[in-house]
Amino acid sequence: MTDTNNTGEKTLGAAPSKTLHLKRPVEQGVVRQSFSHGRSKAVVVEKVKRRIPGPGEAPSREAAPAPTVVLRPAAATPAVAPVAPRGPTSQAAVAKTTPTPIAPPKTGVVLHTLTEEQREARAKALVGARAREDEDRRRQEAEAKLRAERETRERAEREAADARKRDEDTRRAQDADFKRKTEDEARRRLAGGEPSATPAVTMARKPATSAAAPASPVGAASPTARALVADEEETKRVIRRPGAVIQPAKVVLPPRPTRGAEQRNRGRLTVTSATAGEEERTRSVAAFRRRTQRLKGHGLKETKEKLSREIVLPETITIQELANRMSERAVDVIKLLMKQGQMATITDVLEADTAQLIAEELGHTVKRVAESDVEEGLFDRPDEDGAPVPRAPIVTIMGHVDHGKTSLLDAIRKANVVAGEAGGITQHIGAYQVTAPGGAKITFIDTPGHAAFTAMRARGAKVTDIVVLVVAADDGVMPQTIEAIRHAKAAHAPIIVAINKIDKPDANPDRVSQELLQHDVQVESFGGDTLAVEVSATKHTNLDKLLEAIALQAELLDLTADPDRSAEGTVVEARLDRGRGPVATVLVQRGTLRVGELIVAGSQWGRVRALIDDSGANVESALPSTPVEVLGFSGAPEAGDRFAVVENEARAREVAEYRDRQKREKLSARGGVVRTSLADMMSQLKTAGRKEMPIVIKGDVQGSVEAIVAALDKLGTDEVGARVVHSGVGGVTESDVTLAEASKAVIIGFNVRAHKEARDLAERQGIEIRYYNIIYNLVDDVKAAMSGMLAPTLREEMLGNATILEVFNISKVGNVAGCRVTDGNVQRGAHVRLIRDNVVVHEGKLSTLKRFKDEVAQVQAGQECGMAFENYQDMRIGDVIECYNVEEIRRTL
């Protein structure tokens, strides 16, 4: 075969224009090697193969010709490999692609298996062909010399190729013995064949084994092919590898189906078979490496030099984000997880522990951060150098219900309204500032209840400086008074006692002071240090004294704050306003809050659009201890949320998002999501039989909502309790209704109404929306509803006994007992017990009660009757039937 390509022969399909040649055992071909990455290159291959064709030759082990395959530089492929003589029937397979007359005969592709005749014909032609072959080769060699020039250019490459060839030579040497054996065997078998073939093959094999030598005399290619090569070399620079010299001739691999084991097994020498074998053997180094890598998995990945990174791990992280931070592929992370038996998708959230394992497995180091770190530096930043200035005390009024807290607050506020101010204070903002007679300012916050006060404290907001404890002089210390004292003490807030209602005739301030002693509150008149002022809210008596006392106490506390810093404070109340959006009443505790600043409170943030003070006036800034309404929040924060001014939007968003997540987690925990801690499980077990009344609460202000939630929480018992599915500020929305529907909850609107859409939806879904404006009514109603949920107490009421005298079997009805009522009476539909020898054998109901064939409702003592049981037949004479009623008794909380 020549070094020109061996494709197209099929398509050219014309009758061979040359005489048939016997193929020399040194075969050469150019194959195009395709790579997985889409490129391809041509490789010249040479194959030395011993072949003694003979009729009926069995497939020999020569079928593995690979070891004899030699890779050689394209330029050094002069060998003319005459085709094995073809039978006349194989004409179509032969075609000539090289027009050069001096081109060596072409080898064709055998497209089909040869018949026995063909093979014989070839065998016969072999002898003659061989001589011609030699001649051809000499001619080729001459041509090769002409090409010497060009060869020198490629010599360098070939030398490089030598290294690899030497390797192959050794391999080939190992095969030599095997080959020789095969030859011998073949020769023996083909004893009657052409004896000359064997020497030829042997001869050919020798140059072949050393064919790699660059200066090999058999190094000429047909001029045309050369031209082609040159052409391609210019247009396409192919990466060359030592030992695999590129010959970019336009060669395409022969069609696979036509070659293969079958042909090779027959030992026929064709380029196809030769190249087929060669192709397998000369897989490029890269291809081999790729293949082994494929088989090994991702071996390369491990060998690849890796950058170990420090991964910042929050408490939870998505797989995607983790992969990004490690600069790994997310699939690799998922694979690792799968190895641990955890199926995950890219968006799944991993816990920090799992994420750490993965990161460490992939060779990274981990830096765990708590999510709460985003809040770091948000609050309690140390004051700057600015000198702290005195600030107004923040006062909370607490006390038992109806002791006059609201009245007192109102009285103080009204007393402070500048005379002539139209309409007085129209705004109710939950906190306000008044001026004491001495000129000191005092800030009052209106807390709806003690629980809210504590809730604020629980959220880390120490708002109150002083607690004013209101005790009615006519009522004395009551449970909530004690509660208030506890709250105040827990908050380390000094108490000022306001003994209220001293205008009442039965007022007894001394009794109050005395009772307070029992609770560790010593008023001044009793030798303690607690200030006590006797006031009357309705009569406005001693209000200024109270304010003075507060101012005095504040002086003792030496309250200061630095106004020259970014503001921090607490949300006192928040609501959704129809026109103005979320409105939060905040108390600035440090620094100065200004319009236009970015502010974060709870899970909400926003840019301060406007500040409105307690008299309803727009202000530009708010100093420490000043309560103001803030407009501009994205949503209503919660009462007790701390707020802070942040430097940029990103920070605000980050903090708000973190807190939002926390809130949701808390909510889902409250919603009864299955928890995994043992303690939780135990408490769940304990309350498993508990009936719950799910409630959605919407209120006008956060304070009342919190108060309602707290009140409802207290209603609960071991058996029944209210579960607040959702609570919030604002009107009842469609989403509230949807939520209520999902959790089968009732909706309670406190001082709010449902939107029209929500109302319609609720009507459609049959969800009840109840409106209240008095918290006690609300609590009472919920209590009543929950009472209905308490399992009623069952009480048995004895009716009477009857003794069975006779048992009749009546078709269709079954057994009927004829009895006499011994005491009391027996009623139809009542519960009955069948007692035999003082043992209850059956409990059920009566199906029939007859007296002389008539169904009767009741049979009195002493009378006889017929009785039958529902689903029970086994009565006997002498049994006693006990008849009783069950009474259900509703229970209340």
The one of Mg ion, ligand GDP, none whose footprint includes residue 399, by CB under 5 to 8 A per kind, is ligand GDP
10 Å Cβ neighbour count for 717? 11
Tokens representing 388 are 């702290």
> Cβ closer to ligand GDP: 245 or 707?
707
| C-alpha 575, offset from chain centre | 33
Cβ–Cβ under 8 Å, residues 727 and 748: no
Q: Are strands 598-601 and 593-594 parallel, antiparallel or unpaired?
A: unpaired
Q: Which is nearer to ligand GDP, 203 or 775 (CB)?
A: 775
Nearer to ligand GDP, 204 or 707 (CB): 707
402 binds ligand GDP (CB under 6 A): yes
Minimum CB separation from ligand GDP for residue 783, in Å?
19
Binding status of residue 428 toward ligand GDP by CB under 6 A? no
Stretch that binds Mg ion, among 148-156, 159-167, 401-409, 865-873 (CB under 5 A): 401-409
Coil, helix or strand for 396?
A: strand
Residue nearest to Mg ion (CB): 406
Does residue 407 belong to the site contacting ligand GDP (CB under 6 A)? yes
Stretch that binds ligand GDP, among 39-47, 495-503, 554-562, 826-834 (CB under 6 A): 495-503
Closer Cβ to ligand GDP, 107 or 500, answer by number: 500
Q: What SS3 state is found at 590?
A: strand
| 411 or 583: CB nearest ligand GDP | 411
Radius of gyration of the chain (CA): 51
Q: Residue 403's binding partner, choosing from ligand GDP, Mg ion, none, with beta-carbon cut-off 5 to 8 A by kind? A: ligand GDP
Q: Amino acid identity, residue 489? A: K
Minimum distance from CB of 540 to Mg ion (Å)?
17
Residue 574 or 707 having the CB closest to ligand GDP = 707
Q: Per CB under 6 A, which of residues 382..401 are in contact with ligand GDP?
A: 399, 401
Residues in contact with Mg ion, counted by CB under 5 A, come to a total of 2
* Binding status of residue 773 toward Mg ion by CB under 5 A: no
Go through 118-135 and write b for each residue having 16 or more CB atoms within 10 A of its CB, e for each that does not. bbbbbbebbeebbebbee
Cβ closest to Mg ion, residue 72 vs residue 405: 405
405 near ligand GDP, judged by CB under 6 A: yes
Residue 51's nearest CA partner among 196, 268, 263 is 268
501 touching ligand GDP, by CB under 6 A: yes
Partner whose footprint covers residue 660, from ligand GDP, Mg ion, none (CB < 5 to 8 Å by kind): none
User: What secondary structure letter does DSSP report for 24?
Assistant: P
Minimum distance, C-beta of residue 470 to ligand GDP, in the bound complex (Å): 6
C-alpha to C-alpha distance for 606 and 209, rounded to whole angstroms: 84
Taking the complex as a whole, the smallest distance from the CB of residue 455 to ligand GDP amounts, in Å, to 19
Q: Which of 202, 265, 293, 538 is the binder for ligand GDP (CB under 6 A)?
A: 538
Which 8-state DSSP code applies to residue 525? G
φ/ψ of 166, rounded to 5, equals -60, -40
Asked whether position 864 contacts ligand GDP by CB under 6 A, the answer is no
Tokens of 368: 């765990």
Count, in order, helices (H) and strands (E) of the chain: 23, 36
* CB 571 to ligand GDP: min, Å: 22
Interface with ligand GDP includes 315 (CB under 6 A)? no
3-state secondary structure 276-335: HHHHHHCCCHHHHHHHHHHHHCCHHHHHCCCCCCEEEECCEEEHHHHHHHHCCCHHHHHH
Residue 478 sits in the site that holds ligand GDP (CB under 6 A): no
Strands (E), 562-614: 568-577, 581-590, 593-594, 598-601, 604-612
Shortest spacing between CB 448 and ligand GDP, in angstroms? 10
Cβ distance 786 to 893 under 8 Å? Answer: yes
- Span from 457-465, 531-539, 601-609, 695-703 in contact with ligand GDP (CB under 6 A): 531-539
Provide the pairing of β-strand 691-699 with 720-729: parallel
Question: Minimum CB separation from ligand GDP for residue 625, in Å?
Answer: 24
Could you tell me the two tokens for 305? 């030099």
Tokens of 102: 């001096």
Nearer Cβ to Mg ion, position 470 or 567?
Answer: 470
Q: Is 540 in the site for ligand GDP (CB under 6 A)?
A: no
Cβ atoms of 571 and 639 within 8 Å: the answer is yes
Q: State the residue number with the nearest CB to ligand GDP.
A: 404
| CA gap 815, 671 in Å, rounded | 54
Among 17, 196, 210, 406, interactor with Mg ion by CB under 5 A: 406
Q: Does 404 contact ligand GDP by CB under 6 A?
A: yes
Closest distance of CB 541 from ligand GDP, Å? 8
| Shortest distance, position 577 Cβ to Mg ion, whole Å | 23
Structure tokens at 372: 């709460």
Is 536 or 702 the residue whose CB approaches ligand GDP more closely?
536
Member of 96, 137, 259, 403 binding ligand GDP (CB under 6 A): 403
Instruction: In whole angstroms, give the CA distance from residue 278 to residue 32.
Output: 11
In which residue are the tokens 């009462």 written? 639
CA angle 743-744-746, nearest 5°?
110
Name the segment binding ligand GDP (CB under 6 A); options: 338-346, 359-367, 403-411, 882-890: 403-411
For CA atoms 546, 552, 554, 556, give the dihedral sign. Answer: negative
Range in contact with Mg ion (rule: CB under 5 A) among 157-165, 292-300, 400-408, 621-629? 400-408
Q: Are 151 and 76 in contact (CB under 8 A)?
A: yes
Contacts of 28 (CB under 8 A, 6+ apart): 1, 2, 3, 44, 45, 46, 47, 77, 79, 81, 271
Of residues 401 and 595, the one with the C-beta less far from ligand GDP = 401
Binds 500, which of Mg ion, ligand GDP, none (CB < 5 to 8 A, cut-off by type)? ligand GDP
Q: Tell me which of 139, 335, 504, 820 binds ligand GDP, using CB under 6 A.
A: 504
Q: Which amino acid is at 499?
A: I
Closer to ligand GDP by Cβ: residue 401 or 785: 401
List interacting residues with Mg ion (CB under 5 A). 405-406
List interacting residues with ligand GDP (CB under 6 A). 399, 401-407, 500-501, 503-504, 536-538
